[in-house]
Structures are given as structure tokens and as C-alpha cells.
Amino acid sequence: MTRIAYQGEPGSNSHMVINLHHPDAEAVPCASFEDAFAAVTSGQCDLAMIPIDNSLAGRVADIHHFLPTSGLHIVGEHFLPIKFSLMGTPGTTLESIKTVHSHVHALGQCRRIIRKHGWTPLISGDTAGAAREISEANDVTQAAIAPPLAAGIYGLDVLANDIEDEAHNTTRFVLLSREDRRAPSGNGPVVTSFIFNVRNLPAALYKALGGFATNGINMTKLESYMVGGEFTATMFLAEVDGHPDEPGLARALEELRFFTTEIKVLGVYPADPFRAGLA
């Protein structure tokens, strides 16, 4: 059986996306992203399911630092519309709640219901962990905001469903493997993810990206972050539509090499059908 590591506790969104897209796999919870990466690197697990972007909260910052040095490769992606439920121990009512517990991002994405009822938000390590804590506390003045899956796991009653402020709240997950299993070209839409450092020259980034424009390559992501805590050392994470074996993207990457000190392809993988709806 395939074992897929994820960060968080049973009932989290990462657990949900594994159940949804890989129902025959064993989902293996890990305390941190670093532990999830290590589980795959060591061979304890075959794959890792890691959130990389959220449509409201933006990028998951830690991932951008782990990916380049992890030795792992992106072999797939999945988009999950995020649905949060309010849950409490049996007997809890909306009127009895005083405090609501969840991950900081979940609390930020459910401000409307919290403000409406005047509850005090308290930060937990993750959403499913908050559900477990509420179950253990067995206190009707406390409630958790968590994915619906968590309620059944921890024996909680769902008091309200779909409480997120924005209906478009979506998280993108990437599937990581020790093996560089690149999707074949000519077999449907493909995404190529890579990182690069630009040379310390005037307009180097502008020139580096010119090849993608002239070759008609659609760049769907470009993010920068500092390397080693230095303000002068910047790494970029980019994602483009297409396969490196296709002439246009091959030419764009070749041109990119003239203006960079390093290029590393992180993965070439099938585009999730969800992207078609985004377009």
C-alpha cells in the first residue's frame, strides 16, 4: 500500500485531499512539514502531500525553503476547495460558546461568524488539532473550526457548516516523491515548476523572463524569497504551462540560463483539471 505523509493531525485538510484523490493510500500524519519531507526522504513513506498556496492566505512560506534542498520532486498537484465547520462536544450550542479554537489562517478565514457571535478566537497548531483539543476538553464553552472530517474522528457535533467568509477559498497541494517521475509530453496539460537565481546585474530579472514572453509561454507563478537571510541573495520560484521537451519552453529555459547562476527543475507534472475552471 502506498503511504502518503502529511503535516497535521487526522481530519485535517491535507488528510482530506489524500482521501479524496488517493483513497487506497495510507495517510500518515506528521508533526511538521519538515517531518513529512523526512518521512519520504528516509523511505518511511512513498509520497508527501503538502499545501503550497491558498487563494486567501497566499503561499505557505516554509515550503519554499524546504523544497529546493529536500531532494524531492513534484509529481502531481491537487486543488481543494476549503470548507470549514464549527464543532463542539455534545451539548454545545452557539449560545454556550465563549472561545473558538483553530489554526490562525482558519480563524482569519472565518471572521464573520466569530464577530457576529462575539466569540474569542484562540490559536491552535492546526485545524484538526483544535478539534482534538476540544474533544479532550469536553467543555461546552469551547468550540473548534475544522474540516468536516474532523468531527467524525473526534466525536464532535457539527454546529454549523460552510462558515468560511469566502466561497472561493481554495488550497493547492503538491505531491512529492523521491523519484523524478516527469509527466510525458503530448499527453494533456502539464505544469513545470523550477527555481532560479538571477545574476547580480541591472535588469537581470527582466531579461531573464523575456524568453518566456517571446516564446509564448504562460507563467502562472513567480515568487521571490531571500536565501540564507541575505538581502542580496534572492531565489525565485516559477511555474509555467508546458513541458521542457516542447520547443517553446526549451528555448525559454535556455535563454534563462544566460541570466541566472542556478536553475533547478522541481517537477514536471500533469495539471489538475481544476486549472481549466480557473482559466
Q: Which three cell numbers stand for residue 221?
A: 507563478
3-state helix, strand, coil in the chain (%, to 5): 30, 35, 35
DSSP states of 86-119 as a string? EEESTT--TTT--EEEE-HHHHHHTHHHHHHHTP
DSSP 184: P
Residues labelled as active-site residues = 171, 173
Per the DSSP assignment, residues forming a β-bridge with 177 are 47, 73
Q: Which three cell numbers stand for residue 153?
A: 474522528
Residue partners of 2: CB distance under 8 A and separation at least 6: 22, 24, 25, 26, 46, 47
